[in-house]
A and B are shown apart, each in its own frame.
Chain A
Amino acid sequence: MNRKEFILEMLTNPQSPSSSLLEAASNNPELYELLKDQQALESRIIETINSVETPTDLQLRLNAAVRNETRAGIFAASPAANASSFLAVAASLLIAMGIAWGFLFDAARLSPAEGLLSAEVFSHIYEETATLTESDSVSMALVNQVMGAVGGQFLETEATLSMPFAFARPCLISQQGMVAHLVLQGQRGLVNVFVMSNSSSGRKFQIADDRFEGSYTPLASDGTALLVVGEKGESLDSIQALIAPNIDWVI
């Protein structure tokens, strides 16, 4: 390798020098110095170019944008979908109104905000998980990616690594903002877990519809909370007891 070839390769690809370039440098002190200086500058160039800060919430916004696009596409695509979405919204409103009505007569049950949360969560579960099966699975890496949406992640314990997660996605629930929606196998079917970091309710309460029942539990006074929803008769407390202590909050 002559000097011209050496300089040409050194300046076009200093990151992964060929063996012949390294050999030429080792046999010639001048070329060795040139390569050493060039690689030192290259390290600074790489560091500078890669030091541009990425917005912390960009990944979430990219994921959320596509979820909105998907919904808009599905709703616009078929009259049947339009009808079913209308029915879902109507059902949500009826449930919310029913719960709010019930609240007027039984103040010990749900507040209007809790009632609306309940209605929205049930509507969300039917819409999001209708196509899930018990054979679906997602990795813990994806689960923790989704957990990042609420500023938490699962500790890597034997218990968490063996959790049979079937679904994980950051979701927008109007009153709570971004929540981590996880689904895992329970004893009676799939169990939905909503992990929240911006919860509006600071008390424990129960929700239910014809098929599902759920338990909402604040984890601390900082807005973190868990809502676990499963088929009637599911052991929700044991799932909550498995999940709550294994979340590492990094917000």
Chain B
Amino acid sequence: MDYSADDKILEGPGTGFSTKPRAKSQNVKELLYLNLVEEHYQSLYRYAFWLAKNKAIAEDIVQETFLRAWRSLDSLQSETSAKPWLFTILRRENYRLYSRNRPEMTMLDEQHIEDSSQDEPGDMMDKQLLYKAIMDLKAEYRDPLLLQIIGGFSSQEIAAILALKPSTVLTRLFRARNRLNEKFLHKEAFDEVEFAFDTEDA
């Protein structure tokens, strides 16, 4: 959506009601906001849920995230930068509201895996095991994996969001999948490559 174009429409000579410049820009801002919510609220909620491991907290975090985004919407330069911007706000809100005062939760309060009607019982059990395995990953490994899968971010973008070096992001993505491979592919982990990472990190 071209918001600058919308702004021109709103600033055009009206033949009906009187117009107020402040209210017009407010209207454009609200359209932008509605569009951001429409486009990103589901992925932000999913990410918040995996961070918080709790439905109510995830909802709180997403609501605070969008409220913060609304208040600083004027600082958003373009729609293309909206997604990493929102994820960064969400991480900050999670930390501000919950993480710093709460140890890492290990138990899930509710189950939130969608039970697709097409799932066979065995598939559902497999999904539950995978769900738990992902939750059990160290946060430092799980986080880049979630950003890559939920947000669709590149390793460079993940590095910017997490304030890490791109090479560190690659290491953590590798380790996250390597841990899951050990459990679900029933193969030996690629320890020789992981060792090479350790050497490079050092």
Query: Shortest CB–CB separation between residue B116 and chain A, in angstroms?
Result: 8
Contacting chain B: which of A112-120, A124-132, A197-205? A124-132
Chain B, residues 119-157, CB within 8 Å of chain A (1/0): the string is 000000011001100100000000001101110000100
- Smallest CB-CB separation from A129: which chain B residue? B17
Query: Shortest CB–CB separation between residue B16 and chain A, in angstroms?
Result: 5
Which of B137-196 touch A at CB < 8 Å? 145-146, 148-150, 155, 170, 173-174, 177-178, 180-181, 184-185, 187, 190, 192-193, 196
Contacting chain B: which of A63-71, A92-100, A154-162, A235-243? A63-71
Interface residues on A, range: 35 or more
Q: A61-B63, A142-B34 are in contact. Are A189 and B45 (CB under 8 A)?
A: no
Q: Are A131 and B17 in contact (CB under 8 A)?
A: yes
Q: Are B146 and A54 in contact (CB under 8 A)?
A: no
Cβ 8 A contact of A52, one of B34, B49, B63: B49
Per the bound structure, the CA–CA distance linking A164 and B55 in Å amounts to 40
Q: Are A70 and B23 in contact (CB under 8 A)?
A: no
Per the bound structure, the CA–CA distance linking A130 and B37 in Å amounts to 25
Interface residues on B, range: 35 or more
Per the bound structure, the CA–CA distance linking A142 and B155 in Å amounts to 33
Main secondary structure of the interface of B (DSSP, over half): helix
Cβ 8 A contact of A53, one of B67, B112, B177, B187: B112
Cβ 8 A contact of B177, one of A14, A62, A131, A136: A14
Query: Shortest CB–CB separation between residue B175 and chain A, in angstroms?
Result: 9
- Total of A-B residue pairs, C-beta within 8 Å: 156
Per the bound structure, the CA–CA distance linking A58 and B63 in Å amounts to 9
Q: Are A66 and B30 in contact (CB under 8 A)?
A: yes
Main secondary structure of the interface of A (DSSP, over half): helix
| Between-chain CB contacts (< 8 Å), 6 pairs | A12-B173, A47-B127, A49-B145, A69-B71, A129-B17, A131-B24
B interface with A by C-beta (< 8 Å): 9-10, 12-20, 23-24, 26-27, 30-31, 33-34, 37-38, 41-42, 45-46, 49-50, 55, 59, 62-63, 66-67, 70-71, 112-114, 116, 126-127, 130-131, 134, 145-146, 148-150, 155, 170, 173-174, 177-178, 180-181, 184-185, 187, 190, 192-193, 196
A interface with B by C-beta (< 8 Å): 4, 7-8, 11-15, 37-38, 41-42, 44-55, 58-59, 61-63, 65-66, 69-70, 129-138, 142, 145, 169, 189-190
Question: Beyond the given A7-B190, A8-B174, could you list 19 further A-B residue pairs with CB under 8 A, ordered by the A residue number?
Answer: A8-B193, A11-B181, A13-B148, A38-B177, A44-B130, A45-B149, A50-B150, A51-B113, A52-B46, A54-B42, A69-B67, A69-B70, A69-B71, A129-B17, A130-B20, A131-B20, A131-B27, A135-B12, A135-B15
